[in-house]
Structure 1
Amino acid sequence: MSLSWETLREHARRADPAGLVALLVRATEQERLAVAGDVEAGIRKVPRDAWWRDDRNPTPGYALAVIGTMPTAARAAALLARGNMEAWTRVGTQRFLHVAHVRELPWLGELGSRLARRLPVRDADDELWPMIRTLLREGGAEPPVTEAVVRAWLTDLLGYPRRWNGTTPAPLSRRLRDDPYRDVLLPGLFEIDGLGADLAGGSWNETTGRWDSAPRIPGAVAQLVADGTLERKTILHLTLDRLLRGDKPHHLRPFLLLHEALEPTVDELSSHALDYARLLPQAPGAVAASAQKALRAVDDAGRLEVETLLETSALTLVRKEKTLVKAQLTWLEKVSRREPARAGEVLETVAVAFGHPALDVQERALTLIGGQAGRLDPDTLARLGAAAATLAGDLPSRAAELFGTAVPAQVTGVPELPPAAPPAAMPPPIATTAELAEELVILCLEQTAIRWERVLAGLVALYATEGPAVLAAALQPVLDRYPGEFAENSWNRTSPLLHLGAAIRTISHPAVRGLRRWMVDSVRAAWQTGRRGGGDSQLSATPDGVLALRAAEAALQLTGTMIPVLMATPTHVTGSLDAAVLLERLRRAEAEGWQPWPVDFEQALLRLPRTTDPAVAARAAGLTSPAGRQFAAWLASGGLPDPASRRFEQVPETGRHYWSPRARRVVAALTPVRDGGLRLERQLLTITPGARPEAGPDTFHLCGDVLTMVLPQHREAAAAWALPELAALADQDQRRGSAVLPLLAECSGPVGPAMAYGLAYALGARHQENRVAAVDALLTLAARPDPFGPAVGAALGDLCADATLKLSRVIPALADAHRAGASAAVWEVLSAALPALLPAAPHGLADLLELSTQVARAGRAGTPVPGLAEVASRPGATRLIKEARRLQTVLTP
């Protein structure tokens, strides 16, 4: 049988490697080279998914064809590394090398090197590195030191049982010692960023026959250092260099374990003293603690320069880890007594701790200095007294007594919160059909409320000015390009994009019969009863359904009622609509003889400010159209009344599934306070929660801005809809949903239980980005006149008293708000939360009292906290009692 690509391909598809080897071995070298071009072209045409789509994987056979015909390593590597050749290594090294040896190929090492350079960093075939290693060994070549190669080498070294074919493996230290590429690749574990993650992941323990989660490479490397296989000086240098370059704490742990296993001598520690001095102030906590221990050993041996210690300490004393800082203070106290001539320098360094955020650290530093103040010169005492201006809580009065200075009138270093800026104006309207088409494309990729408003307004305005033919020509290609968004399917009947697509299609086909019957029925149901969901309505009953309803209304109305402008387009990015602007739109409608669309007009009314300029109200009284008279009556009556919002507690089922909330959940029930009103009103202002909390609520995490733009003047109502998702940030550790909080804070209206509990849940969320969003919302509220602190504090007290929320998550967020200048608002929150927390004494209460002391003095608070005096008067010296006494001292006139 002659050698050809067709023949080789047929054997490969039949998974007949023996037949392929026989064909290639019997052929002459000239015949093999003659078919190389056809093999190359044929493999390039192989579908990418051929390796898993076919019942019999053909790629091992193709690999034999490659090694049996290619003239150079470059061409062979290019083919074997193609995406459609995945899993080619299943051919096995024996057959692959047999063909290569028959051809007497001189470039196996080069092939291994080229394949190594193309090795993917992650998700590589498990057998790819063993094949590459074999090729390198056959050709006498060394591997390139790349991240992918070192990672693959490490994975293979740590090993899995299946790689050992049932045999008992040698210990890891022996495998490392005997590895031919150890000296080439081992340094890469230290030098290539990110590989600590692989080291930290553990390895297969050949002794226990189980996967060992503890890193084992450090012990193996230390053993090879101990027996002289690896040079101790080099490994210690590599280890410290890796720690200095930094990484995530968990990823540095293997290198820290190696450092401890090496047990550096005093001479080695002294030679690297400057390295440890760099690690102590900036490295993660565990690494810094190790560096501190090393430097103390050097200092105890009398081999550490005092200047090095003082320079390092000045940076270390402001670290957040109190244990580390207190140990540094103890060390400095020892040095100040050992070096009396330099005690002033040392104690001025100690004074750096006056700026530490923890009061007990500040107190420790002040006590340390006070114990030696009698032997300090007046100039040093004066400088220490000036440094004490940063002390917080009850410490300034103690410092004033110690240094003979005046008690500062107010806390320094805490900024003032600037007044709230007015909401930004909406971007300019869309002016051309080309711009509208561009915005429509972007809307398909990223739906935002602002973009939705501009697109809806632009569609109506350009239909009136440009005409249907021009508009259809510009927008139809977008519908064709994104059929998944604009074409109906089984799940998207509530999607506003589907209804917007229907509106655009009616431009070319204006007959109502071009619309789906269910869409017409849904709009008519809303017109007649205000109902958006249930019955014959396919729209969502939640507030985001108003946007879909408006798009569906445009589909029904656009070609039948020629209007030039929408009424509801907001004037500000919050969704608010200036009453004077709506007045002018209604005047235009009366002058031109057209009526607004019903839902669009009701949405416009819902966006009007809570208070109106009397001059605007007076001019509105002169309107004569039905919509004009409704607008005037709306302004005269004060608009939409706030609904009744009340706290509602849900309890998970006994024996709940793992995805259910872990504890009780507090949500809000909404009830309208009047009958009648707008069509949209009753559904928007009615929430009847169930007895059980919803698992994984996710209605608004992608459209929180749409929610707030529907009800921009009724923050509490919008918050009630979003509250289950905000609660899930804490009780289900969900990550998405907090983006609505800053938007809610920018809305208007009173803060009730929904907003208060929503903010409380987000302050106690698991993920940092959600707590940041809560702080942003708190700062926005603090800059506005609406009172909110007592309500939020009561919610925090309720949720933290029984550990529904973890207090340890809440405290840093409140501290951030305090440092940002919202001290007065944070004090209102804390003073309202403490009465419920003091009797319950949840974990972290002492830290909350410490923060309260700092905030109370910064906010110049003087109101007593119920229950605080009782805790402060208890006998004992626990930290909780000490912090209660400290706060009581600050609050006592």
Structure 2
Amino acid sequence: MSSLMDAVRAGRIAEVTSLLDGMTDAERRACFPELKALRKELRPDRWSERGRQVLPALHLAGAACQTGAAAVANWLAATDFIWAPASPARLIDTLADRDLAWIADVTHRLAQRPVSARVPFDLMTGLVRLSACPVPTTTAYVQGWLMHIGSTWARSSSVVDRLRQEPHLAELVAALFEIDDIGSVFGWVAGEGRNSWPASLARLTEEGALDRKSMLDGCAARLLRGGRASDVRVFLQLLRALAPTRAEERERVADWTALAADAASPVAAHAQSVLAGLALDGELPPRRLAEMSESVLFRTEKKLLRAQLVLLGKVLAKDAGGVDELLPALAQALGHMDSEVQERAVKLVERHAPRIGDPGVRDVLAAGAEQLSPVLRARVAKALGVGLVPASAEAYEEALPAVPVPLRLSPAPESATELAEEVGALLAGAADDVAAFERTLDGLVRHAHQDPGALREALEPVASRLHWFTAATVHPSDFFGHRHLELILAALLRKTPGGGFRTPLRDPLSVAGCIHSPLGQAFNARIWEIAHRIHADPPPFLLSTPTWSTGILEPDELVARLDAYRELGVRATPTDFAQALLRVRRQDRAGAEAAAERAAALGTPEGTRLAQWLTAEGPALPPVTLRTAGPRVLLEFGELEELQRDFPPDFRPLGRPVSVYREHWRCYHWDADLRPHWTALLPEQRELVAVRLLRDFSSLAVDDTRGAAEILPRLAESDGAAGPALHLGLAYALGARHEEDRLAAVDALLVLAARGQLDAERLGADLGELMGSGTVKPARLVESVRTAAATGANATIWGILRHTLPALLAGLTGERPPAPPRGLPDLLAVAADCAERSGARGDVPHLAQTADRRGSSRLVSQARRLRSTLVLEVAA
């Protein structure tokens, strides 16, 4: 026993093997406790030179000195030995004297391990051969087999040659179709050409080594199941390599139809081509083609839809007898969002409507035509001979979303336990919920004033999970980012040094002149003062807690709070009162002036200041002093004097000039949880927030960043003038790289339109300038405006695009005009569709020159369509 341990500790693996051969099972079991202790001892040193020397010997000895199959499998697959295992050959040789059923049990337990366990394939396959057990078809084993066959050791032979030597070929290939996400490995080792896996498996199928029907059925089933793009791609390659015969294609018409309807685009396109071949050869019944067409025409991919419409046109041209069965499928295409698809479908209806024999078909197509623009709908009505309402007789109604209604904040929780639960929810990930944050902050102040002991007792279980909880003291600088609530908790739990947080919470980037710093500085200052005061002299409640979820504070409510402070003899915290002033509603002049009288009657400095603030002119729009040009258009704002007078020093930067060149735009204000609090900081002066976020908005289109547009709907719901900064930021976000940012921009656009605050001319001109410089790509804008138009905001979108298009069309004039930017034809199509639906009339500069160009390109055809719509005479 001591000899074995000495050999293991010295890493002499050959000697370990020899000693194990001469030991009985009882002697081996007696050694295991010491081997187990050595494994624990080596755990901190497994990356060291000693660990790399000793671990292989320990790996071998530990596997040999246990008798349970589960225990041996656990030892063999332990993470301690991943980087320094014993060789598979030595392990197999050591286990060879065990019972074959026991070895089979160990083998299958190893194969059940996840891929991340990195059990060597050579060990698993060696044990399979040793025990003669059924081959495992687990993910780990099959993936190991794939890597083994495709590894570099056998480059001298082809994949086909290596597969021919596999005794379990049929079982392992069948498993490929059953394992999810195997395509990422299968495709990686597949390669291209004749030596690829798809080509090799197809060749073995042709030779009879693999059952052809099983292979075709497996491919179809795997593609129907879907999955990652890597899975889809490699099994589609295999299906193409198998090259099904026409008879085999006919046998699987149901599979092709299902794939064309629901599979990923490449697979659907392949299935569509197979069915098209059958249909054109007369081997696909009209009923099947109609079923397939309805499914494909429900998809969104233009390429698939256009191919299907072409196919229907060819089939109907060859055999008009299927009109009644095939034409109803066009109802899906008539309602598609793409105008070109609609145009093609309308032409098919016009061409084949005279042959319709079933009146029900006319009814189906007429119902589908209700979704078309008035011009196209009139063409369908004429072709069908039905009485649709003429386009000119319709009264268009713009469909905009309901104006968002702010939510009134609920009172702070009455019990400390309930408040602690809300604190826990905020710490767990709701830091961007302004309403929850503000009511919780007010609740902490209230309970700290009423019963600080009970509050600390309730908060300790929640705060105990925070990393600073065991520290004796903390510093405000430990809580930058979105951890402001933690700063309050630290003050409540007496983690503050001395008499509280005497050092203000300063944003280190404020000194560097970060463009966001005035917003962060003001927000930080209020939080720090609350934390500092809550330590020894907490107020009974906060003055600045908003009335509404947008951050607005009603003036009557603020007057009542100041009156309560007066009666209690409580002094107001400067930053809390400053925040209250910035939040109090002033746009309602009648309400503000009435509240100002009551505030002045209080006879306190804060009451007098509030009265002056409420009776002053409403929130001013900062003057724009500079608008840059080029790929990144930015704005400079002048000084806002009303924020310079009688405000704490940390709040005054909010009204100072915004400079494009003197202030740093890049910083570490990366946490999106802070941005909603910035909108609530200035709920009636959203332009001051928007101008400081312009660089972030521009990066959505210029640098393809993600997430900055999330704040735009909040800005749209805020109050104050919707000026050039907000509209320019919206223009950038409408051309953002990522879909979620574009959707946020569309939401903001519709909210502004519903509130009557959207300046369509300004936004359209901004978009034209940004697209003219190449900053915003037309193809991205198309997705945004199409989404907005689909909600029913056709007049709104037309009002924007009529000011956007001239800047793009102007560049296409001249004797030898350049190629149009990608997406411009689609943008014209959306504009034409919105103009048709809203009944727009008038002229668009430079549109006529584009419409008069020769040819029938999509750009020219859509320009002509738009021009025709804009000059269409309205019937009396």
Q: Same fold (TM over 0.5)?
A: yes
Deviations 1:817-868 (A, max 9, x none): 1112332322222222112122234211100010111122333333432222
For residue 116 of structure 1, what is the amino acid of its counterpart?
Answer: A
Seen in structure 2, the aligned counterparts of structure 1 residues 189 and 356 have a Cα distance that, compared at 3 Å, is same
Seen in structure 2, the aligned counterparts of structure 1 residues 496 and 281 have a Cα distance that, compared at 3 Å, is closer
Seen in structure 2, the aligned counterparts of structure 1 residues 374 and 645 have a Cα distance that, compared at 3 Å, is same
For residue 261 of structure 2, what is the amino acid of its counterpart?
Answer: P
Seen in structure 2, the aligned counterparts of structure 1 residues 408 and 637 have a Cα distance that, compared at 3 Å, is same
Are 2:769 and 1:798 equivalent residues in the alignment? yes
2:100, 2:131 within 8 Å by CA — same for their partners in 1? no
Among 406, 410, 414, the alignment partner of 1:423 is 406
Secondary structure at 1:423 match in 2: coil
Alignment-derived partner of residue 709 in structure 1: 680
Among 836, 839, 852, the alignment partner of 2:810 is 839
Among 738, 750, 754, the alignment partner of 1:767 is 738
For residue 741 of structure 1, what is the amino acid of its counterpart?
Answer: L
Shift of 1:758: 2.1
Alignment-derived partner of residue 278 in structure 1: 258
Shift of 1:169: 3.8
Counterpart Cα distance in 1 of 2:602 and 2:87? 87
Among 405, 418, 421, the alignment partner of 1:438 is 421
Secondary structure at 2:90 match in 1: helix
Seen in structure 2, the aligned counterparts of structure 1 residues 733 and 176 have a Cα distance that, compared at 3 Å, is farther
Matches within 5 A, 1:100-115: 100-101=95-96, 107-115=102-110
Are 2:865 and 1:890 equivalent residues in the alignment? no
Counterpart Cα distance in 2 of 1:71 and 1:106? 13
Seen in structure 2, the aligned counterparts of structure 1 residues 193 and 101 have a Cα distance that, compared at 3 Å, is closer
Shift of 1:494: 3.8
Secondary structure at 2:637 match in 1: strand
Among 363, 366, 388, the alignment partner of 2:343 is 363
For residue 70 of structure 1, what is the amino acid of its counterpart?
Answer: Q
Identity %: 32
Alignment-derived partner of residue 669 in structure 1: 636
Among 623, 627, 638, the alignment partner of 2:617 is 638
Secondary structure at 1:567 match in 2: coil
- 383-392 or 630-639: bigger deviation: 383-392
Seen in structure 2, the aligned counterparts of structure 1 residues 496 and 421 have a Cα distance that, compared at 3 Å, is closer
- 731-740 or 376-385: bigger deviation: 376-385
Are 2:604 and 1:625 equivalent residues in the alignment? yes
Secondary structure at 1:738 match in 2: helix
Counterpart Cα distance in 2 of 1:625 and 1:701? 39
Give the 4+ runs in structure 1 shifted more than 6 A.
212-215, 410-415, 537-540
2:261, 2:295 within 8 Å by CA — same for their partners in 1? yes
Shift of 1:671: 2.5
Counterpart Cα distance in 1 of 2:476 and 2:543? 32
Counterpart Cα distance in 2 of 1:238 and 1:509? 64
2:737, 2:780 within 8 Å by CA — same for their partners in 1? yes
Alignment-derived partner of residue 659 in structure 1: none
Counterpart Cα distance in 2 of 1:579 and 1:178? 85
Counterpart Cα distance in 2 of 1:816 and 1:199? 38
Shift of 1:716: 1.7
Seen in structure 2, the aligned counterparts of structure 1 residues 561 and 691 have a Cα distance that, compared at 3 Å, is closer
Alignment-derived partner of residue 140 in structure 1: 132
Deviations 1:434-457 (A, max 9, x none): 333333344433323334323321
Alignment-derived partner of residue 656 in structure 1: none
Alignment-derived partner of residue 81 in structure 1: 77
For residue 433 of structure 1, what is the amino acid of its counterpart?
Answer: A
Secondary structure at 2:750 match in 1: helix
Are 2:66 and 1:70 equivalent residues in the alignment? yes
Name structure 1 gaps, 5 residues minimum: 206-211, 524-530, 652-663
Seen in structure 2, the aligned counterparts of structure 1 residues 98 and 793 have a Cα distance that, compared at 3 Å, is same
Secondary structure at 2:635 match in 1: strand
Seen in structure 2, the aligned counterparts of structure 1 residues 222 and 503 have a Cα distance that, compared at 3 Å, is closer
Alignment-derived partner of residue 574 in structure 2: 598
Matches within 5 A, 1:293-308: 293-308=273-288
Matches within 5 A, 1:740-819: 740-819=711-790
Shift of 1:38: 5.0
Counterpart Cα distance in 1 of 2:340 and 2:125? 58
Counterpart Cα distance in 1 of 2:7 and 2:250? 67
Counterpart Cα distance in 1 of 2:716 and 2:8? 66
Counterpart Cα distance in 2 of 1:539 and 1:18? 68
Shift of 1:55: 4.3
Seen in structure 2, the aligned counterparts of structure 1 residues 559 and 290 have a Cα distance that, compared at 3 Å, is closer
Matches within 5 A, 1:648-663: 648-649=627-628
Counterpart Cα distance in 1 of 2:164 and 2:17? 36
Are 2:854 and 1:862 equivalent residues in the alignment? no
For residue 25 of structure 2, what is the amino acid of its counterpart?
Answer: E
Counterpart Cα distance in 1 of 2:239 and 2:394? 44
Secondary structure at 1:35 match in 2: helix
Alignment-derived partner of residue 172 in structure 1: 159
Secondary structure at 1:24 match in 2: helix
Shift of 1:465: 1.3
Shift of 1:624: 1.6
Alignment-derived partner of residue 487 in structure 2: 501
1:643, 1:670 within 8 Å by CA — same for their partners in 2? yes
For residue 673 of structure 1, what is the amino acid of its counterpart?
Answer: L
Seen in structure 2, the aligned counterparts of structure 1 residues 427 and 837 have a Cα distance that, compared at 3 Å, is farther
Deviations 1:322-352 (A, max 9, x none): 3322322232223334433332332333344
Are 2:384 and 1:391 equivalent residues in the alignment? no
Deviations 1:486-532 (A, max 9, x none): 9647964645746853774377589x844465338x69xxxxxxx99
Name structure 2 gaps, 5 residues minimum: 812-819
Secondary structure at 1:669 match in 2: strand
Counterpart Cα distance in 1 of 2:184 and 2:476? 43
Among 523, 530, 534, the alignment partner of 2:511 is 534
Among 616, 624, 633, the alignment partner of 2:595 is 616
Matches within 5 A, 1:301-316: 301-316=281-296
Alignment-derived partner of residue 878 in structure 1: 857
Secondary structure at 1:518 match in 2: coil
Seen in structure 2, the aligned counterparts of structure 1 residues 17 and 644 have a Cα distance that, compared at 3 Å, is farther
Secondary structure at 2:577 match in 1: helix
Are 2:389 and 1:402 equivalent residues in the alignment? no
Shift of 1:640: 3.6
2:73, 2:110 within 8 Å by CA — same for their partners in 1? yes
Secondary structure at 1:865 match in 2: coil
Secondary structure at 2:633 match in 1: strand
Cα RMSD between the aligned structures?
3.4
For residue 503 of structure 2, what is the amino acid of its counterpart?
Answer: W
Secondary structure at 1:641 match in 2: coil
2:474, 2:490 within 8 Å by CA — same for their partners in 1? no
Counterpart Cα distance in 2 of 1:286 and 1:435? 54
Among 453, 460, 463, the alignment partner of 2:448 is 463
Deviations 1:638-687 (A, max 9, x none): 34422234664487xxxxxxxxxxxx323332332326333355312342
- 340-349 or 699-708: bigger deviation: 340-349
Seen in structure 2, the aligned counterparts of structure 1 residues 46 and 132 have a Cα distance that, compared at 3 Å, is farther
Are 2:553 and 1:577 equivalent residues in the alignment? yes
Shift of 1:564: 0.8
Shift of 1:694: 5.1
Seen in structure 2, the aligned counterparts of structure 1 residues 869 and 490 have a Cα distance that, compared at 3 Å, is same
Shift of 1:732: 2.0
Alignment-derived partner of residue 149 in structure 2: 157
Are 2:31 and 1:15 equivalent residues in the alignment? no
Seen in structure 2, the aligned counterparts of structure 1 residues 299 and 442 have a Cα distance that, compared at 3 Å, is closer
Shift of 1:425: 1.8
1:417, 1:821 within 8 Å by CA — same for their partners in 2? yes
Counterpart Cα distance in 2 of 1:254 and 1:101? 39
Alignment-derived partner of residue 91 in structure 2: 96
Counterpart Cα distance in 1 of 2:122 and 2:397? 60
Counterpart Cα distance in 2 of 1:391 and 1:575? 43
Counterpart Cα distance in 1 of 2:638 and 2:583? 20
Counterpart Cα distance in 2 of 1:282 and 1:735? 29
Among 195, 207, 212, the alignment partner of 2:182 is 195
